[in-house]
Structure 1
Amino acid sequence: MNGTAPDGDADDYALSRVPEHARHSWVSVAVQRFGQVSSFQQFLVGAVLGFGMEFTDAVIAITIGSVMLEVITILLGIAGVREGLSTSLLARWSGFGRKGSALVGLLMALSLAGWFGVQNGVFAQGMHDLAGWAPEWAWALAGGALVTAVTVHGFRVMAWTAWLTVPAFLLLAAWSVADTLAGHSLSGLMTSAPPGPSMSLAEGTTLVSGAFILGAIMTPDMTRFNRRPSDVVKQTLISVTLGEYLIGLTAVLLAHAARTSDIVGIITSSSGLLGTLILATAILKINDWNLYSSSLGLVNSLDVLFGRRAGRRTVTLVIGAAGTALSAAGIAGHFPDFLEAIGVLAPPVAGIIIAEYFVVRRFRADLDRARRDGVLPGECADWMPLSLVCWAAGAAAGEYLDAGIPSINSVAVAFLGYAIAGRVAVGHRTPPALPQSLARPDVKRTGG
C-alpha cells in the first residue's frame, strides 16, 4: 500500500468523486440495495417478531422502524449522489473534519469487517450442516474467498452478482416458504397468538431499526453511483419497503406456522440442495457490501492518518483474508457482542452528516464549487469539536435513554444538537450587513 496507489475507475473512486460517466442506472443500484434489505437478516428479524408478536403488531413495528430509517437513508443517499463521495470521505466536509472522518472510516471498517466475518461463519456452519461433506473451516475459506474475489473487482462486478443472486434467493426462498405454509390458513396465521414470550411494540420497533441502521449509514457508498437524487428516492422506497414488508412479514407468518423463531432451520429444512442454494445466495448478496464499505472506510482512514493512498483492491484483499481466517478459526462467532457494543457509536454519524449537509451547510459552498470542477474541496480542519460533542451525546442517548427507540434517539439527539449549535455558530460568524448607503458605491459618504 504505497503513496502512489491508483484511484479512479480501476479503484472505484475510493478517494475521489464518482464522475458522471461512471454512474449507473437506478435499477442497477436498486437491485443491490434490495439485496441488502432482503437478506437472511430480514428473515431473522421477522421470525423473532413473529415469535413474540401478533401479526398486526409486527406490521406496526416494521412500519415505524422502516419508515424512520427510510428518511435517514434517503437523506444520506441524496448527499451521496450529489457529491459522488463515500460515507467516510463525505464526512470530512459534513461535520467531522479530516481526522474526524478517519474515526468514522475506522468505525465503519471495524464494524462491517466484523459482520463480514460473522456472516461468513454463519455461511460455513449452515453449509456444513446442509452438505456435511466438508468441515466448517473449509466452507469458511471457500465462502470468504468467493465474496472477496467478487468485491475486489468493485461495483460493476458486484452489480452483476446481485442480478444473479437476488432473483435466485427470492425464487428459492419463495419455494421454501410456500412449502412450509402449505396446509396452514393464512387468515388463521394472521390472527393467531404468538408462539413465544410476548414482545412489546417498543422492543419490536427497536429490533427493526437496530438491524438496519448500519446499512442506512453506508448508503452513500452505494448511491454515489446513482445519476440523480430521484433515483435514490425510488430505489429506497421500493427496496426498503419490499425488503422490510415482503421478507419481514413472510418471516412473521413462518414463525407463527412453525411455532419457532429458528428461521434458518425452517427455510433450509425443505430440501438439502434447495436449502444450500438459499443460504449461499443470501450470504453472498449481503456480505460483499459489508466488505466493500469496510474497505472504503479504511482507505479514507489510511489516507488521513498516515498519508498513504492505499489501493481499495489491496485493502479489500487484506480485510477479506483476515475476516475469512477469523471465521475459519471459529473466532468470528464471538464478535457479535463486541460489534453490538461499538454499534452505539454508529447512529450519531448519520445525524451529524444530515444536520451539516442539509441544515448548517457550513461547507456547502466549497462542495458546490468543487463539484462543478469535478474535484474534492480544499482541505478542512482536522477536528470539529461540535461533531465530537454531538457524537458523544447521541451515543449516550442511544445507550441510556429508556424512552423511545435507541437508534432513532441517537440519530435525533446528534442531529438536533449539531443543527442548533451549528446554526448559532454560523450566525455568529456571519458579518452584519452594511447600511444601504455604505453598501452602494454610487452613494457618496458625508460627514467625518
Structure 2
Amino acid sequence: MSNRETKDDYSLERVPKTAKQNFWQVTVVRLGGFACVSQLMLGASLGYGMTFNKALLSVLLGSVILQIVGVALGIIAAREGLSTSLLSKWSGFGNLGSTIVGLIIAIGCIGWFGVQNSVCAEGMFNATKIFNAQIWAIITGLSIVAIVVYGFKMLSYTANIALPLFLLAVGIATVKMLSNTNISTLLTSTQPGPSMSLSVGTTMVAGGFIVGAVMTPDICRFLSNSKQVFWMILISTFVGELSMCMIAVLMAHVVKSSDIMTIMYSLSGWLGVAIVIFSTVKINDINLYSSSLGLTTVLSTIFKKKFNRSTITVVIGIFGTLLSAIGIMNYFVAYLTFLGVFVPPIAGIMVVDYFILKRDRTVLDEARQNGNLPDSCESWNPITIISWLCAFMVGYFVKQGISSLNSIITAVVTYYVLMKIYAAFKGQTNAKFAQTDKYIG
C-alpha cells in the first residue's frame, strides 16, 4: 500500500478487495469503540438514577436499536466498500444531503473526542498532580492525532494493545469492588440519586453510541460479507455495551456517584487511571478517524476538489483537543439526548432507500463491478430533508415511548410514504430528482 493510500485510507473511493481486513481485526476495533470509559460514564449515569433491573432493561432496549442500525448499515458498507458520508450520496441524501450527513458525523465524533479527552486529562492530572487538566488535555489529544493520521491499520494496532489492557484493568476493578460488597443487596438496592425514567435511560443508551452505529460503514467497509458484519456487530454490541454499562451501574450504586473519575479512583486508585488512559487511546482514535472521513466528504463536495484525510485529521484533532480543554464534559447528558433523536433518522432513510426503494442499486452494482463509483448522483432530495426534520421533531417533542426509536420509525415511514406519493404524482416507478456529475469521489 502506498504512503498516500495509507494516509488517505480510501476516504473518497471504494475500499478495494485487496485492502479488506481480517474479521477479528475489524471486530477488535469495533469492540474497542464499545468497551470504553464513555460506556462506563453512561452506565454510571444510569446507575445513579435507576435500580439495577431498570438500568438493565434500558441498556437492552437501547442495544437492540443500535444492533439493528449497525447491522443494516454494515451490510451495505461491506458490499459497497464506502464510508457513511460517501455512501449516503446514493442512499437517499444526494450530493447536498451527504454534505449534511458528513458534517453531523464530524461534529458528533469530534464532540465525543472532546468528552473522552476531558476524562483522560482529568485522570492524568489526578494521577500525576503535575500541570493541570487543560494542559493534559492538549498532550493526550495531540497524541491521538498522531495515531489517526495513519488510518485504519494504525487503529487496529492500537486496539490490539489497548483493548486487552483496558478489559484487564476493568476486570480487576470489578473483582475488587464485588469482594467488599453484598451482591444481592447491590442488585436490589434503590438508585442513589434522583430517579430517571426508562425512556430517558434508553434514549441515553441509544444516543450514547448512535453516532457510532450510523458511522458503522466507516469500519465495516473493510469487511467482506454480511455474515461477518452480523457477528462483528453482535459481539461488539452486547459484549462491549452490556458488560461495560452494567459494571458501571454497580459501581455507581457502590460509590453513590455518577462521576466516573470519582468512581474509578475510589475503587481502584491508579488502576482506575489506567482504565481511563487505555480506553481513551482506543476509542478516541475511532472518533477522530470517522470525523476526518465525514469532513473530507463535506469539504470535497463543497469545494469540488479532493482534500487529504490526514491533513483534515490534524486540523479537527486540534479543534477537538481545544473543546476538551474548555470543558465540553459539562454538557455530556444533554449532548447524548440530542444525538439520540437527531442522528437515528439518517440510518432509517439510508436503509429504506438502499434495501426497499433501491433507487440507486443498479448504478451502484454496475460501478462496483469495475471498482469505481457511479458517474453521477442526485443533487439533493427534498423529501429526505422533510422526513429528517419530521423525525427529529417527533423524537424531540413526543415524550411517550423511546425518543430514539420514535425518530427512526418516523423517518422510515415518512420517507417511504412521501417517496411513493411523489413517484405516483410524477408517474414514475421510483421517484428520482435532478442528477449531478459535479461531485468528488
TM-score (norm 2): 0.91
CA distance in 2, matches of 1:336, 1:271: 24
Q: Which structure 2 segments of 5+ residues have no match?
A: 431-441
CA distance in 2, matches of 1:331, 1:403: 32
User: Are 2:141 and 1:144 aligned?
Assistant: yes
Matched, 1:369 2:366: yes
The 1:105/1:168 distance shift into structure 2, 3 A limit, reads: same
> Which residue of 125, 130, 149 maps to 1:128?
125
- SS, match of residue 118 in structure 1: helix
Contact 1:114 1:335 in 2 (8 A): no
Cα distance in structure 1, aligned partners of 2:54 and 2:65: 17
Is 1:296 equivalent to 2:296 in the alignment?
no
1:275 aligns with 2:272: yes
What are the residue-to-residue correspondences of 1:19-168 with 2, within 5 Å? 19-168=16-165
1:14 maps to amino acid: S
Which deviates more, 144-153 or 315-324? 315-324
How much does 1:152 deviate?
0.5
Structure 1 residues 137 and 254, CA, compared in 2 at 3 Å: closer, same or farther? closer
Partner of 1:420: 417
The 3-state SS of whatever aligns with 1:211 is: helix
Aligned to 1:207, which of 204, 207, 212?
Answer: 204
Q: 1:257 & 1:331 partners in 2: Cα distance?
A: 27
Name the structure 2 match of 1:394. 391
Which residue does the alignment assign to 1:325? 322
Deviations 1:262-319 (A, max 9, x none): 3321223345432322111111111111111111111111111111200000110111
Do the aligned partners of residues 273 and 402 (structure 1) sit closer, same or farther apart at CA in structure 2, a change above 3 Å counting?
closer
Q: How far off is 1:171 after superposition?
A: 0.3
Give the 5 Å matches for 1:223-372: 223-328=220-325, 330=326, 332-333=328-329, 336=332, 339=335, 343=339, 344-372=341-369
Structure-2 separation of matches of 1:265 and 1:201: 25
Which residue identity is paired with 2:97? G
Greater Cα radius of gyration, structure 1 or 2: 1
The Cα of 1:53 is off from its aligned counterpart by 2.1
Query: Corresponding residue for 2:429?
Result: 430
Of 186-195 and 341-350, more deviation after overlay is shown by: 341-350
Check the 8 A contact 1:80/1:86 in 2, yes or no.
yes
Inter-partner Cα distance in structure 2 for 1:35 and 1:201: 27
CA change 1:73–1:197 in 2 (3 A) is same
Return the offset for 1:165. Answer: 0.7
Q: TM-score, normalised by structure 1?
A: 0.90
Contact kept? 2:119, 2:261, Cα under 8 Å: no
SS at match of 1:429: coil
Greater displacement, 101-110 / 344-353: 344-353
Find the aligned partners of 1:338 and 1:50 in 2 and give their Cα distance.
17
The separation in 1 between residues aligned to 2:400 and 2:247, in whole angstroms, is: 29
Shift, 1:423, TM fit: 3.8
Mapped to 2, the partners of 1:273 and 1:100 lie a distance apart of: 46
Q: 1:385 to 1:200 in 2, by over 3 A?
A: same
Percent identity (aligned): 41
SS of the residue aligned with 1:261?
coil
RMSD of aligned C-alpha atoms? 2.0
